[in-house]
């Protein structure tokens, strides 16, 4: 029996998908390269915001229309959040599977395809294989989920409803996974969680600083990228470790969300523009080549023109390297759902446009500082042009330390010598093209 996995949502969902694949593979299933040749289609869904929910449901409907006789399983966050409703209203799916136990996917799959009890039992006995799971990342990089759930309870966020409260993995388990991945040749470990800054608060450990200290004892030439640190929970002691071990990249993904203190309070966040600017200044003072990515939200209930102006002013003062901007999505059962002062979708979208428009020149300017430098580049893929080339120069795509997977710009590598994907190579940065950079191997 073969399956095809169609996954949506964030990289935390991607790790869930990888773990599901591992559990299926060790119970006798095989991954198909495409849906046409699969016995079962698994849609690993996202249930975070309205647009993502629609995308996942539409995927089920489209697969059903294309393959009316195949079995379809809806897995992931959407299935977790709306299990009862979907089982009643989405007959196009043959089964549903949440996120509580990715290793138990084969049991749900067996039920969906009416396999025997013996096949379903095999799934419950399958050990987790977090470090040897199939990887859906580009070569050389892997995500390491260090925690699940979140205790921050931001007013707009449905994550606690879907994934529950904070549950940190043990440091020993994480280190074993990192060792396994490094032994497989991985060159970039991306530590992820809903809020990595809160890691370990539910354990009797020293939290993220102690975990990073343990990772620093691992041997080898690799990067560690720490993503998604809530600004109100930023553990400053990690800067000492990053200063001592340059393998920890000075790249920080800190979702500020807003700069108006009134809006932040309404979002159930404790920060303000002054505190956030001080944090940014501290990071840049302590670590050379600090790169900061953030997300801003427009259209949260009660956001006035004055609030939005404060956000734009913060954006100009902060001069952040990368910014993602999203309009507020009204999610049922969240604290913000019934707030007054709703902002029209048109106004929220226009404010989003202004943020993105203003950020482009800032990001270009921030990337310009790397031009002329010699830095390691992680080679990800060879670019195959549609038109035949002269055969003298090949083009590869890769990333610098200032570029996180999938969300930031890329580094274009021009070379006459073949490169191996998934490796770190020293390059000289020779030009900037918009937000992307161009490099030549040394």
The answer, yes or no, to whether residue 297 has pLDDT greater than 50, is yes
Q: Which domain CATH number covers 39?
A: 3.40.50.12160
Domain assignment present for 133: no
Last residue of a domain, one of 333, 368, 403: 368
Domain assignment present for 364: yes
Helix, strand or coil for residue 388? coil
Domain assignment present for 136: no
Pairwise CA distance, residues 375 & 184, whole Å: 24
pLDDT of residue 114: 67
Specify whether 119 is located in the same domain as 34.
yes
pLDDT range class, residue 389, cuts 50, 70, 90: low
Last residue of a domain, one of 368, 403, 424: 368
Specify whether 234 is located in the same domain as 355.
yes
Specify whether 262 is located in the same domain as 195.
yes
Specify whether 210 is located in the same domain as 352.
yes
Angle at 194 between CA 245 and CA 256, to 5 degrees: 80
Pairwise CA distance, residues 360 & 310, whole Å: 19
Q: Exposed e or buried b for every residue in 277-286, given b needs 16+ CB within 10 A? A: eebbeebeee
Mean pLDDT over the full length of the chain: 90
* DSSP strand pairing (394-399 vs 322-327): unpaired
Specify whether 198 is located in the same domain as 322.
yes
Last residue of a domain, one of 124, 155, 182: 124
Domain tally for the chain? 3
Going by the DSSP 8-state scheme, the letter that residue 270 receives in this structure is -
Pairwise CA distance, residues 116 & 408, whole Å: 46
Task: Judge whether 223 and 378 are in contact, CB under 8 Å.
Answer: yes
Specify whether 196 is located in the same domain as 317.
yes
Specify whether 345 is located in the same domain as 388.
no
The answer, yes or no, to whether residue 13 has pLDDT greater than 80, is yes
pLDDT of residue 178: 96
Specify whether 68 is located in the same domain as 162.
no
Domain assignment present for 30: yes
Q: Which domain CATH number covers 382?
A: 2.40.50.140
Domain assignment present for 319: yes
Task: Judge whether 3 and 50 are in contact, CB under 8 Å.
Answer: no
Please write the tens of the pLDDT for every residue from 332-343: 899 999 999 999
Q: How far is CA 232 from the centre of its chain?
A: 20
pLDDT of residue 371: 95
Q: What percent of the chain has pLDDT over 90?
A: 68
The residue range of the domain holding 394 is: 374-441
Please write the tens of the pLDDT for every residue from 48-65: 778 888 898 999 999 999
pLDDT range class, residue 391, cuts 50, 70, 90: low
* Residue that wins the pLDDT comparison between 102 and 82: 82
Q: Which whole number is the average pLDDT over 136-158? A: 93
Task: Judge whether 74 and 95 are in contact, CB under 8 Å.
Answer: yes
Please write the tens of the pLDDT for every residue from 183-213: 999 999 999 999 999 999 999 888 999 999 9
Specify whether 201 is located in the same domain as 187.
yes
Specify whether 276 is located in the same domain as 357.
yes
Specify whether 181 is located in the same domain as 94.
no
Domain assignment present for 129: no
Please write the tens of the pLDDT for every residue from 20-41: 888 888 888 889 989 998 989 9
Task: Judge whether 245 and 216 are in contact, CB under 8 Å.
Answer: yes
Specify whether 298 is located in the same domain as 428.
no
Q: Which domain CATH number covers 154?
A: 3.80.30.20
Q: Which whole number is the average pLDDT over 112-122? A: 48
Domain assignment present for 255: yes
Domain assignment present for 325: yes
pLDDT range class, residue 345, cuts 50, 70, 90: very high
pLDDT of residue 126: 47
Please write the tens of the pLDDT for every residue from 63-80: 999 999 989 989 888 888
């Amino acid at each position: 029996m073969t399956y095809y996995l169609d996954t949506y949502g964030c990289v935390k969902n991607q790790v869930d998908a990888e773990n599901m694949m591992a559990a299926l593979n060790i119970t006798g299933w095989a991954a198909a390269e495409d849906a046409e040749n699969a016995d079962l289609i698994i849609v690993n869904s996202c249930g975070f915001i309205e647009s993502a929910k629609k995308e996942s449901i539409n995927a089920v409907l489209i697969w059903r229309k294309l393959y009316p006789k195949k079995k379809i399983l809806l897995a992931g966050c959407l299935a977790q959040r709306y299990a009862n409703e979907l089982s009643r209203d989405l007959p196009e799916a043959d089964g549903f599977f949440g996120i509580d136990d990715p290793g138990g996917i084969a049991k749900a799959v067996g039920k969906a395809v009416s396999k025997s009890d013996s096949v379903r039992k095999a799934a419950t006995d399958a050990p987790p294989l977090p470090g040897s799971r199939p990887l859906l990342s580009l070569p050389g990089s892997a995500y390491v989920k260090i925690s699940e759930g979140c205790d921050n309870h931001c007013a707009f966020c449905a994550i606690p409803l879907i994934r529950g409260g904070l549950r940190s993995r043990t440091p020993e388990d994480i280190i074993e996974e990192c060792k396994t991945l490094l032994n497989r040749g991985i060159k970039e470990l991306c530590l992820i969680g809903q809020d990595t800054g809160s890691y370990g608060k539910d354990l009797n450990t020293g939290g993220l600083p102690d975990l990073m200290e343990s990772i620093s004892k691992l041997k080898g030439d690799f990067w560690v990228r720490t993503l998604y640190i809530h600004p109100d929970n930023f553990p400053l002691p990690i800067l000492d470790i990053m200063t001592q071990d340059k393998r920890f990249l000075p790249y920080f993904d800190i979702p500020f969300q807003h700069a108006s203190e009134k809006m932040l309070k309404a979002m159930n966040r404790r920060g303000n523009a002054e505190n956030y600017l001080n944090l940014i200044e501290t990071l840049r003072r302590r670590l050379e080549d600090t790169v900061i990515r953030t997300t801003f939200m427009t259209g949260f209930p009660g956001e006035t023109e004055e609030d939005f102006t404060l956000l734009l002013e913060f954006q100009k003062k902060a001069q952040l390297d990368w910014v993602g901007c999203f309009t507020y999505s009204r999610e049922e059962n969240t604290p913000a759902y019934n707030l007054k002062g709703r902002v029209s979708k048109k106004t929220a979208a226009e404010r989003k446009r202004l943020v993105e428009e203003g950020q482009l020149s800032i990001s270009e300017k921030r990337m310009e500082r790397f031009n002329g430098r010699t830095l390691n580049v992680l080679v990800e893929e060879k670019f195959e042009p549609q038109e035949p080339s002269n055969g003298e120069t090949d083009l590869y795509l890769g990333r610098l330390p200032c570029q996180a997977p999938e969300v930031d710009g890329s580094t274009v590598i021009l070379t006459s010598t073949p490169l191996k994907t998934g490796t770190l190579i020293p390059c000289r940065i020779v030009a900037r093209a918009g937000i992307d950079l161009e490099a030549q191997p040394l």
